């Protein structure tokens, strides 16, 4: 069973479009994250949710809007996509007490 799953795995879209990436975890964790990995492979946190509540928003443009319908899901919606949004986006989760974090397989977003 996949612990943290993201869909889609690949996403190619044109500039100006709106797209969503979905994430689900079956680990019973309370905290979920979105990370962005740039072309130099550096991973940087974007958002963190704890029990459906936003606790971290790392100066991400407001074109990016996370949504957590329940603590097992954290979706990422991106409006008006730009070329610079091209990257790999990773979803992750961890349990209470800052336990081990588990990552999804990533979504490779290409904006053309």
Partner 1 sequence: KQEVTQIPAALSVPEGENLVLNCSFTDSAIYNLQWFRQDPGKGLTSLLLIQSSQREQTSGRLNASLDKSSGRSTLYIAASQPGDSATYLCAVRGGGATNKLIFGTGTLLAVQP
Positions in the binding site for partner 1 (CB under 8 A): 31, 33, 35, 41-45, 48, 50, 55-56, 90, 92, 94, 98-106, 108
Cβ proximity to partner 1, 66 vs 104, nearer residue: 104
To the nearest whole angstrom, how small is the minimum distance from the Cβ of residue 112 to partner 1?
19
Cβ distance to partner 1 smaller for residue 75 or 94: 94
Residue 38 CB, shortest distance to partner 1, in Å, is: 11
Burial class (CB in 10 A: 0-12, 13-18, 19+), 101: middle
């Amino acid at each position: 069973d996949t612990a943290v799953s993201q869909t889609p795995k690949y996403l190619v879209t044109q500039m100006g479009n709106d797209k969503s990436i979905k994430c689900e975890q079956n680990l019973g964790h309370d905290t979920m994250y979105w990370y962005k990995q740039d072309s130099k492979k550096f991973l940087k946190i974007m958002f963190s949710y704890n029990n459906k509540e936003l606790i971290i928003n790392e100066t991400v443009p407001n074109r990016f809007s996370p949504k957590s319908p329940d603590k097992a899901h954290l979706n990422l919606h991106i409006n008006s996509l730009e070329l610079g949004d091209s990257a790999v986006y990773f979803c992750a989760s961890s349990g209470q007490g800052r336990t081990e974090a588990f990552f999804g397989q990533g979504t490779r977003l290409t904006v053309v």
